[in-house]
Chains A and B, each alone.
Chain A
């Protein structure tokens, strides 16, 4: 990501304003977050973004991002939302299902930045987080505790993912970049709730990301992990491999030698 927001003190990265927004624009403009004052890019970038938007997004989201039959309004969703949705390949969306899947990314980083600037220019919304807040040098203990309280019920205690209702699911968090994790927390993609800065401060979010990256980057001391999904995998392993291997031994043991 070459879009470097103007350097300010890390979390003066925005005057944190709380609005009870959402009046117009429909259900997807729910979020009111820290709005970064410098979120809007240059005029050329916005224009470039507008062209890309019209070509790729307007069919569903309306030619001015006001929303249409296929997709919600993007007014006020902010640059972070665009960066997350397009940057993880979820947008442009494919066949409608319970939920959008992560896919190969369709656009270059410049194009994504341009679209993000364009959408951010429509109305203030959550901005793309600065690199400083994304450094994984926070407090993993505090992050772990917050993760368990706020996230683990859907995403599993170490981010292995889990089920929601009616075919929806909370995706696994392994391999997701720090930036996208942060953006997901401030924008609440799809059915994920929003964790605004009053709920989890930027520092809290940094701690959570630090914890997740610790878990991701450190192999289990106990050996191979069987997907970190808990006792079900362990039970299946016992039956299929543990008992399977031992039964193979018993068959050898009971067979007559040549």
Chain B
């Protein structure tokens, strides 16, 4: 059929070979010039993904030497203060990786730093998606996939943290055991199943290892594939601006610009992690010693992404064992668990809640500037504060020592802050957003303040305002704006509870909104000697247009 174009060069022949088997031409035709918007905040997800690739590479190295066995052995390696100590094979092989295998220490540090960065970048990426409203239709499901990716990342981190079987991670496992045992009815049995009998047992490291190197990475890879597939289907969102609309995507083509930038970025992330790993110690397991149920070290904390759960355990009120028919429900464990799960549930459900409140069923590909969605931004700030207080709660002891304060005062202050902080953060953020919106209106209507003051012939002093150009003006006025909805009766003439809740939520979201500048307002402001603003008269001296 296609004898017309017989390839001649080596490259051409290879391409022909592949295309005849893989339809490569069609793939390239469809994806080669796909457009990706360019913004620094769009790369955070990439940081997480690249960290994951680095984790797989360095983790594979570690699996060649690590032995997930809790059999007892006597350490005979290079680290003098542990020579002759009794320990598990898991711990001794981790020490051997650190001291006696060339490149082992570097790979361990790369693996651990990359793990911390993986979850941190994923978390920041989630925040970016939240605060710009990128989770709205059609991306709600992808938000959920991302949410589960974050959870899987935490799970991967925790299972890995426990593997070296050192004193620090052993005490971490012990805390997990204590929490599991506290679960009503099934707790003790789950604990026995997890540890293969009583804590610490001889099974748990091997089980965590299976989870850490097989199941959880497989789940992450599967979720990541779905996550990326959806990005391809939806195409990436873009920030508002001239020429950017809900029905287009503005950016650079995949080939060559994005391949070079995103491909190069992988090397940059890896390079930064390598540089940090070469110069900074992470998780010095040799300092902690082998796990033993009797000792514990001051400053026993989990890695940062589990910190908020540990903080929840610390901030729980005491004296709270509830007894029902002689059965005990330890609220010092259950309350933090319930609160954390509720928090996660709200995070997962947020896109659906907001979609229900606005009733907006259109697709949104143009992001919100955070100020233009004040209530969402404020809710986000409250959530971040809640999380941050729990997180800081996990280091109460270190805060107390570092700032020379009473541990008890720090803890009590954190408990108060956990309630007040989010409310305060909500209020401050909302007010800030509204003020920024007002400022945007001012600039759109009257131009930017130039700082130049002139005296008019009749003696009045005014500051010259410079109108913004059309591109900037468009950025200031083009955003989505919602009104509170009224509860309306349904067909039977009744106002259902759902409608009422929805109406009051809608009021909560939009009642004090600042609407974008309308055409009428703009024209009024630009007519000579017109009253200068509609809603806020006499706030500023009258201005004239700047002279060129």
Q: Kindly state whether residue B132 has any CB partner on chain A within 8 Å.
A: no
Closest to B408 in A: A166
A154 touches B298 (CB 8 A): yes
Q: Kindly state whether residue B397 has any CB partner on chain A within 8 Å.
A: yes
Given contacts A166-B408, A232-B398, contact A222 B280 (CB under 8 A): yes
Q: Kindly state whether residue A185 has any CB partner on chain B within 8 Å.
A: no
Q: Kindly state whether residue B52 has any CB partner on chain A within 8 Å.
A: no
B120 touches A222 (CB 8 A): no
Q: Kindly state whether residue B71 has any CB partner on chain A within 8 Å.
A: no
Instruction: Give min CB distance, B317 to chain A, whole Å.
Output: 17
Q: Kindly state whether residue A12 has any CB partner on chain B within 8 Å.
A: no
Instruction: Give min CB distance, A49 to chain B, whole Å.
Output: 33
Instruction: Give min CB distance, A168 to chain B, whole Å.
Output: 8
B282 touches A222 (CB 8 A): yes
Given contacts A232-B307, A238-B117, contact A245 B407 (CB under 8 A): no
By secondary structure, the B interface counts as: helix
Given contacts A144-B289, A145-B289, A165-B407, contact A237 B299 (CB under 8 A): no
8 Å CB contacts to A: which residues of B395-440? 395-398, 400-401, 404-409
Among A14-22, A61-69, A119-127, A249-257, the one that faces the other chain is A249-257
Which bracket fits the contact residues of A?
Answer: 35 or more
Interface 1/0 per residue, B48-85 and A, CB below 8 Å: 00000000000000000000000000000000111111
8 Å CB contacts to A: which residues of B88-116? 98-99, 105, 109, 112-113, 116
A225 touches B81 (CB 8 A): no
Q: Kindly state whether residue B471 has any CB partner on chain A within 8 Å.
A: no
Instruction: Give min CB distance, A180 to chain B, whole Å.
Output: 19
Instruction: Give min CB distance, B105 to chain A, whole Å.
Output: 6
Closest to B81 in A: A140
Q: In the A-B complex, list the 4 residue pairs whose CB atoms are closest, starting with the nearest.
A: A162-B298, A235-B304, A222-B281, A167-B406
Subset of 29 A-B contacts with CB under 8 Å: A141-B80, A148-B289, A148-B297, A149-B292, A152-B298, A154-B298, A157-B289, A157-B297, A157-B298, A160-B298, A162-B397, A163-B298, A164-B407, A165-B406, A169-B400, A226-B280, A228-B284, A231-B303, A232-B394, A234-B112, A234-B282, A234-B303, A238-B113, A245-B272, A247-B40, A250-B44, A254-B42, A254-B43, A255-B40
Q: Which residues of B contact A (CB under 8 A)?
A: 38-44, 47, 80-85, 98-99, 105, 109, 112-113, 116-117, 120-121, 124, 167-168, 261, 265, 268-269, 272-273, 276-284, 287-289, 292, 294-305, 307, 394-398, 400-401, 404-409
